[in-house]
Amino acid sequence: MNTDRPVILISSGDAQTDAFLRAGLQEAFPNVGLRIAHDEGDLRRQLPDAEVLMAWKFPVGVLSGAPKLRWLQLLGAGADSLSGTQLPAELSVTNIRNVFGTSMAEHTIAYMLAHAKQLRRFSQQQEKQEWSPSEPALLSGRTVGVAGLGSIGRKIAEYCGALGMEVIGLRRRRGEVPGVNAVFTSEEIDEFLPRCDYLVLVMPGTRETEHLLTSDRLRRVRRGCFLVSIGRGNVVAEKDLVDALEEGRLAGAALDVFEREPLPSSSPLWGMGNVYITPHISGINRAEDLLPPVKENLKRYLRGEALSNRVDLRQGY
């Protein structure tokens, strides 16, 4: 291995992002060899030489052909794609944090307001030139439960608090979180759910969160609750979700993530009038936001310092 000029492979899944990252990193670190892998074949060909991989949405199986790999920088937040993969113990995995909170908090507020202010109903009425008043609701004074209190969940809590909502939260460990009036632990989920007028799921996809919400739990949610799901689709059992929406236990849902993506055309969710579907876009992934944390970590790596935003692979995030 040539330690003077380590090979760093970039494969974000987007050609413009790849080029932007390479240019920004090359300028800051002229002595590293930066290469781009455009597709899976390219990745497989170049990985045997790579010491660092900066990647997103890649088939994890390719890592078995990367004997020199020391550091994997994920170019997104979720590390769930690595679960079940045997990775070398000496491989450091890092992700992107503190970047997606603002866009995901805005997304959450947009759809909670769409629900409270009946945007769909009034836009349908407008199309028919129909003047039928019905009273919108307030978010102020209502309780929002944020399940998942990492950097994204905290930003959502902050925005909801600014709108005068009562903010409660759910996380693995006990402990206070700024902007959250009451924190419930995972074991207390059955006390947490009945208090939520709005429930925001922003948990990582791990073995513990998979199918956390099945029909039993969905029955505990306060009747008429509105769900926003933006973390990972398998946190809620989709079949049970459809039932809860059909029965009116949930008043509606804004779903950005699904058990299978793209959402299959056969899914009943597509046709439900109380559901908003977006194609996994709530976290805006801009190259200019990725560059600073990646650059900082590469600086640390080259100096032999501890990397930031390490993923604990046992926990899955």
Annotated catalytic residue 51: no
- One of 121, 195, 222, 280 is an active-site residue; which one? 280
Residue among 159, 157, 155, 186 nearest 170 (CA): 186
Contact characters 228-257, ligand GLV, x per CB under 6 A: ------------------------------
Which are the contacts of 254, defined by CB distance < 8 A and separation ≥ 6? 108, 111, 112, 114, 115, 226, 227, 228, 229, 275, 276, 278
Bridge partners for 93 per DSSP: 72
CA distances from 97 to 155, 189, 285 (A): 12, 25, 11
Nearer to ligand GLV, 6 or 231 (CB): 231
Q: In angstroms, give the least distance from the CB of 104 to ligand GLV.
A: 9
Stretch that binds ligand GLV, among 73-81, 86-94, 102-110, 262-270 (CB under 6 A): 73-81
Stretch that binds ligand GLV, among 13-21, 70-78, 115-123, 260-268 (CB under 6 A): 70-78
Q: In angstroms, give the least distance from the CB of 49 to ligand GLV.
A: 27
Here the tokens at position 105 are: 């908090």
Here the tokens at position 42 are: 């390219």
Nearer to ligand GLV, 78 or 316 (CB): 78
Helix or strand run (H / E) with residue 54: strand 52-55
The dihedral through the CA atoms of 43, 15, 263, 77 has a sign that is positive
**56/156 Cα distance (integer angstroms):** 24
Residue 78 touches ligand GLV, criterion: CB under 6 A = yes
- One of 107, 232, 238, 259 is an active-site residue; which one? 232
CA distances from 167 to 104, 141, 255 (A): 16, 10, 20
Residue 76 touches ligand GLV, criterion: CB under 6 A = yes
**180/157 Cα distance (integer angstroms):** 6
Q: In angstroms, give the least distance from the CB of 150 to ligand GLV.
A: 11
Nearer to ligand GLV, 75 or 144 (CB): 75
CA distances from 187 to 88, 172, 199, 239, 267 (A): 32, 8, 17, 24, 31
Interface of this chain with ligand GLV, residues 192 to 221, rule: CB under 6 A: none
Annotated catalytic residue 280: yes
- One of 176, 246, 261, 288 is an active-site residue; which one? 261
Q: In angstroms, give the least distance from the CB of 212 to ligand GLV.
A: 17
Stretch that binds ligand GLV, among 72-80, 106-114, 271-279, 292-300 (CB under 6 A): 72-80
**50, 71 Cβ separation under 8 angstroms:** no
Residue 293 touches ligand GLV, criterion: CB under 6 A = no
Round the CA-based radius of gyration of the chain to a whole number and report it: 22
Q: In angstroms, give the least distance from the CB of 304 to ligand GLV.
A: 28
| Number of residues binding to ligand GLV, judged by CB under 6 A | 4
Q: In angstroms, give the least distance from the CB of 297 to ligand GLV.
A: 16
Given 54, 77, 202, 254, the residue binding ligand GLV (CB under 6 A): 77
**15/11 Cα distance (integer angstroms):** 8
List residues near ligand GLV by CB under 6 A.
Answer: 76-78, 283
**Which residues are part of the catalytic machinery?**
232, 261, 280
